[in-house]
Amino acid sequence: MKRPKNAAASENKNPLLAEWTGTFELPPFASIRPEHFRPAFDRALAAHRAEIDAIAANASAPGFDNTIAALEKSGRELDRVANVFFVLTGADTSDEIEAIEREISPLLARHNNALYLNRALYARIAELYKKRDRLGLDAEQARVLERYHIRFVRAGAGLEEQAQGRLAAINERLASLGTKFGQNVLADEKSFTMLLEESDLAGLPDFVRAAARAAAEERGEAGKYVITLARSSVETFLQFSSRRDLREKAFQAWIRRGENGGTTDNRALIVEMVALRDERAKLLGFANFADYRLDDQMAKTPAAARKLLDDVWSRARTKAAAERDALQAMITEEGGNFALAPWDWRYYAEKLRKARYDLDEAEIKPYFQLDKMIEAAFETARRLFGLSFKPVAEPLYHPDARAWDVTDARGRHVALFIGDYFARGSKHSGAWMTSLRDQEKLAADVRPIVLNVCNFSKPAAGEPALLSFDDARTLFHEFGHALHGMLSNVTYPLLAGTAVPSDFVELPSQLYEHWLEVPEVLRQYARHAATGQPMPQTLLERLLATRTFNQGFAIVEYTSCALVDLDLHSAPDAAALDVTEFERKDLERIAMPAEIVMRHRLPHFQHLFSGGGYAAGYYSYMWSEVLDADAFAAFEESGDVFDPATAKRLRDFVYSAGNLREPAEAYKSFRGRLPTADALLKKRGLVDAVVKAP
Ligand SMILES: [Zn+2]
């Protein structure tokens, strides 16, 4: 890692610490270099520490303003520096950035410990919380105070000093392990490429060949073809390649990320993380980590989450078994003398889809142009929420990232939206929403700067970027998260945008996916890349008719992950854990079909171990799906999927409401009642599935 020669001199010129005065107050990415981060973090951490110390040591009696509001106003510089840094660690990292990340993540954990384990500060919050009904607070202030109190209690602020010391050490260690975990997955993804010759491309349609050619060019192998472990690359290869040997090779590399031995193997890291989480939960008075984690979620208990998953699981297995039989019959019919293996499933499913619905991905793909799908997501936001999007030429951290100025129906600035859509070696896999700045109205009317980062295959120069239908769904999903950030309308930053429990945070994103499937949206925006013609009506009907096709597979692939996650984080003997054995036995326990592999196996399950945002929380997607299916049904029941009155309630109680209310209360305010799972089962084609015990 490079260090500045003269720290004092460089601090004056450090662009991270200067005022950002451009039109949208964006960080000056062009002049930010890796060596600017450490001194900027050091200064920002010291400044925040001083602010916290002053609040804790205030000689005046604790009041809302001198304690809670003061905390809410503190740490601005740290937020700024950290937001820029973590955009880069995810979307455009490098060896230098990774080294700083390993150095800074335990420092940030230590900093958080110093905040949440500060006894004097907690004493003030506890006193305020005790007399909260007599403070004359408005509803939002009361909510902020309550959330601070819960946060401090859950972090261990009320524990004895010795226990606090141990908690602090655990948190720091977990932060380091989480960073290393994500970096290991990226390293394994980067180290594998399958280099192919023209003669290896049997079955691959033009768009897959074009993406593989572009990936080869990017790696200095012009004229050849490269398959990478980015989902859009490997998954389309598995779907189309008729070369069973190559499918197996790519699939094996894909499912063994983080499990290849050597310095990038993640299994020892998992053992340590699970044990540390278990120990932390016990220090805080919970039986295990899952109990601790869900206590502050909408689900409240692992039992509630399990009940939903178990119900879906048995139906999904039944459906997957029927799907497997149909695929095996196809193999036999073709004269194949082998049993369907995991690397065959996507290939034969694609063939069966073509046979059954006269529909193949290669026929659909030219209709899903990236730019048209971005327009479709924007137009949906205009019709639901009155937003407009104007492209702006602002220098960003990578030339592939683009920005739009977002305004409301009266032309007022709402947010800056940044879309960074293409896969590259410097980007972590997956798709996510994040922000450079969050909304608030406390010190000033601050509007957010929100990003969507995806990993779609980049086309060769001059060719249009084409998405699969799944990619288009991912784009809508992440854009739903982005709207949750951009429409946020709260006073206190603690409650802004996506700062809600993780089993509620997928509601705005998953709900938004529904509008992609609205026929009039597809008719307008699914246009052929070469001819500009809209998708023919019959093709559109066939596309929508396949919505429940292969859903047994999809739900099994997902739900197995959610169940293994809950089991792993409820395991009573975390210290004696053998990750491979645990995964194998747990899958056996739930009777995982042999032909399907978990969507994320434990050694590369970044939701659980890279940061840990979804640890014991992967069930959230299904939990939120109950909500999103039920919520979209509200639009359908109104007879208009853009119904203004329903959209207004949705905006008021969900998209703009951040964490102003308990999730169940927020949902009830929108829908008039709590959700039921009926719409979810219907959407996934599970209504008729016969329930059998596993
Ligand atoms: Zn999401």
The strands making up 449-456's β-sheet, listed across from edge to edge, are 388-392, 402-407, 413-422, 449-456, 432-437
In contact, 232 and 538? CB cutoff 8 Å: no
Tell me the per-residue pLDDT of 158-192, one tens digit each, with 9 for 90 and over.
Answer: 999 999 999 999 999 999 999 999 999 999 998 99
Residue 222 CA, ligand 1 centroid: distance in Å: 36
User: pTM score, two decimals?
Assistant: 0.89
Residue 571 CA, ligand 1 centroid: distance in Å: 27
In contact, 370 and 465? CB cutoff 8 Å: yes
Residue 447 DSSP symbol: P
Residue 506 CA, ligand 1 centroid: distance in Å: 5
Side chain identity at 206, as an amino acid letter? D
| Residue 436, phi then psi, degrees to nearest 5 | -95, -20
* Residues annotated catalytic, as ranges: 478
Residue 353 CA, ligand 1 centroid: distance in Å: 27
Tell me the per-residue pLDDT of 571-619, one tens digit each, with 9 for 90 and over.
Answer: 878 778 999 999 999 999 999 999 999 999 999 999 999 977 899 999 9
Q: Residue 285 is encoded by which pair of tokens?
A: 């008075």
**Cα 640 to Cα 19: distance, rounded to the nearest angstrom:** 47
Return all residues near 226 (Cβ < 8 A) that are at least 6 apart.
193, 194, 195, 196, 212, 215, 216, 218, 219
Tell me the per-residue pLDDT of 340-367, one tens digit each, with 9 for 90 and over.
Answer: 999 999 999 999 999 998 887 788 989 9
Residue 480 CA, ligand 1 centroid: distance in Å: 8
Tell me the per-residue pLDDT of 197-213, one tens digit each, with 9 for 90 and over.
Answer: 999 999 999 889 999 99
Return all residues near 212 (Cβ < 8 A) that are at least 6 apart.
196, 201, 204, 225, 226, 227, 233, 237
Residue 10 has pLDDT above 70, yes or no: no
Q: How many CB atoms lie within 10 A of CB 219?
A: 14
Residue 477 CA, ligand 1 centroid: distance in Å: 6
**Cα 690 to Cα 679: distance, rounded to the nearest angstrom:** 17
In contact, 429 and 449? CB cutoff 8 Å: no
**Cα 645 to Cα 672: distance, rounded to the nearest angstrom:** 13
Residue 270 CA, ligand 1 centroid: distance in Å: 23
Residue 621 CA, ligand 1 centroid: distance in Å: 8
**Cα 408 to Cα 391: distance, rounded to the nearest angstrom:** 15
Q: Residue 167 is encoded by which pair of tokens?
A: 């908690």
Tell me the per-residue pLDDT of 509-542, one tens digit each, with 9 for 90 and over.
Answer: 999 999 999 999 999 999 999 999 999 999 999 9
CA angle 453, 448, 129 (to 5 degrees): 115
Strand pairing partners for 406?
389, 415
In contact, 273 and 177? CB cutoff 8 Å: yes
What are the Cα distances from residue 487, in Å, to 406, 439, 450, 474, 668? 10, 9, 11, 20, 20
Residue 127 CA, ligand 1 centroid: distance in Å: 37
pLDDT of residue 685: 85
Residue 266 has pLDDT above 50, yes or no: yes
